[in-house]
């Protein structure tokens, strides 16, 4: 939407001509509450940007589609060596390779989306500074593009389930719900990080270190039960702890911890905060690019 200001400019078409109004190429009327409906209205633009990102990753890559597969496979193998073989951590009735790969699949989506979403505005400086588009579609496109790798990884997980003759429980029907929860959480997080990174590039530099810490602070290669009971409430303030529990419950039928509600509450708070900060800062974000 174009915002018009009544501030006149000095140039005129004639001596007696009225001042030409200044038309500013800037978002107007954007609020945290309006962002979801704006995203729905711009779903086609989001899809096109996501598809452009997917093609850019695969077209000029020798390995192509193998990259989305290699990261969760490598991570699951490292978890198997470190947590299972060296630390002796077990995964109950679920074969540990399935347990670890399920966590690695989700973490691969989180890490790739966090990095791409954080840089989604700064990597599109030319678009943001020369024309107006609803800027929320940039982090949203990063979230959608990473679903491509998630879908491939889930296909590999299906093959592993067959190899281990592990029958998914009826809770598998809830998997789309948990994927939706994950995507919404990542959208709120990347919306927040993208505008902060536009103000200060230190955000992108620091996020690499923080994601490494986040990885080992989440129950990806180990069950949350290994955390001492006195620390478990604090542990579940990590939004990924509850989301990973729900993801594994849907695919593998593992137990759900009652503290999962804490994780989902923190995730919802991050989404609200991310949308609020994005709506407040996006009008001036082009000034810092």
Query: Do 164 and 76 contact (CB within 8 A), yes or no?
Result: no
Query: Which range is least confidently modeled, 12-26, 31-45, 190-204, 273-287?
Result: 12-26
The domain tally of the chain equals: 1
Tell whether the torsion through CA atoms of 49, 50, 53 and 54 is positive or negative: negative
Q: 7 in a domain, yes or no?
A: no
For residue 45, what are its two tokens?
């633009």
- Asked if residue 190 is part of any domain, the answer here is yes
Mark out the alpha helices in 164-235 (DSSP H runs). 175-199, 202-216, 229-235
Assign 289 a pLDDT band (cuts: 50, 70, 90). Answer: low
Mean pLDDT of 26-37: 69
Q: What angle do CA 243, 244, 249 make, to 5 degrees?
A: 100
Higher pLDDT, residue 11 or 266: 266
Contacts with 81 (C-beta within 8 Å, 6 or more apart), sequence order: none
Could you tell me how far CA 259 lies from the centroid of its own chain? 23
Mean of pLDDT over the chain: 85
Does residue 35 lie in a domain region?
A: yes
Per residue in 136-161, pLDDT tens?
999 999 999 999 999 999 999 999 99
Q: How confident is the model at residue 112 (pLDDT cuts 50, 70, 90)?
A: very high
**Does residue 203 sit within a domain?**
yes
Quick check: helix, strand or coil at residue 150?
helix
Q: Report whether 143 contacts 183 (CB < 8 A).
A: yes
Query: With bands split at pLDDT 50, 70 and 90, how would you rate the model's confidence at 63?
Result: low
Tell me whether residue 178 is in a domain. yes
Q: How far apart are CA 275 and CA 289, in angstroms?
A: 20
Report yes or no on 232 lying in a domain. Answer: yes
State the burial class of residue 26 (Cβ atoms within 10 Å of its Cβ: 0-12, 13-18, 19+): middle
Asked if residue 21 belongs to a domain, the reply is: no
Q: Looking at the predicted structure, is the pLDDT value of residue 11 above 80?
A: no
Query: Binning pLDDT at 50, 70 and 90, where does residue 116 land?
Result: very high
85: domain range? 30-288
Question: Is pLDDT above 60 for 62?
Answer: no
Q: Are 170 and 87 in contact (CB under 8 A)?
A: no
Q: What is the DSSP string of 100-143?
A: HHHHHHHHHHHHHHHHHHHTTTGGGHHHHHHS---TTHHHHHHH
- pLDDT tens digits for 157-178? 999 999 999 998 999 999 999 9
Cα distance between residue 121 and residue 251, in whole Å: 34
The count of other CB atoms within 10 Å of the CB of residue 126 is 9
Is residue 12 domain-resident? no
Buried b (16+ CB within 10 A) or exposed e, 248-277: bbbbbbbeebebbebbbebbeebbeebbbb
pLDDT, tens only, 120-136: 999 888 877 777 788 89
Q: How far apart are CA 11 and CA 258, in angstroms?
A: 67
User: Which DSSP helix (H) or strand (E) runs through 24?
Assistant: strand 21-24
In terms of C-beta density within 10 A (0-12 exposed, 13-18 middle, 19 or more buried), how is residue 230 classed? Answer: exposed
């Amino acid at each position: 939407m174009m915002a018009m200001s009544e501030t006149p400019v000095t140039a005129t078409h004639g001596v007696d001509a009225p001042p030409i109004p200044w038309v500013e190429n800037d978002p107007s009327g954007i609020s945290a509450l309006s962002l979801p409906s704006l995203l729905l209205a711009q779903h086609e633009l989001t899809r096109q940007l996501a598809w452009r990102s997917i093609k850019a990753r695969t077209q000029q890559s020798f390995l192509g589609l193998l990259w989305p597969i290699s990261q969760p496979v490598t991570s699951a193998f490292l978890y198997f060596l470190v947590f299972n073989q060296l630390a002796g951590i077990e995964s109950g009735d679920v074969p540990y390779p399935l347990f670890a790969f399920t966590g690695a699949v989700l973490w691969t989506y989180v890490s790739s989306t966090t990095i791409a979403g954080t840089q989604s505005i700064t990597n599109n400086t030319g678009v943001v500074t020369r024309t107006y588009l609803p800027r929320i579609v940039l982090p949203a496109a990063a979230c959608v593009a990473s679903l491509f790798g998630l879908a491939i990884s889930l296909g590999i997980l299906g093959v592993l389930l067959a190899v281990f003759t592990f029958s998914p429980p009826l809770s598998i029907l809830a998997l789309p719900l948990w994927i939706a929860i994950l995507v919404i959480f990542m959208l709120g997080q990347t919306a927040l990080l993208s505008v902060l990174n536009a103000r200060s590039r230190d955000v992108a530099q620091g996020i690499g270190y923080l994601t490494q810490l986040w990885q080992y602070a989440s129950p990806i290669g180990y069950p949350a039960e290994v955390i001492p009971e006195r620390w478990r409430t604090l542990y579940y303030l990590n939004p990924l702890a509850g989301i990973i529990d729900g993801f594994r419950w849907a695919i593998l039928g593992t137990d759900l911890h009652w503290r999962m509600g804490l994780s989902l509450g923190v995730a919802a708070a991050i989404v609200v905060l991310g949308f609020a900060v994005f709506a407040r800062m996006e009008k001036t974000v082009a000034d810092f690019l």
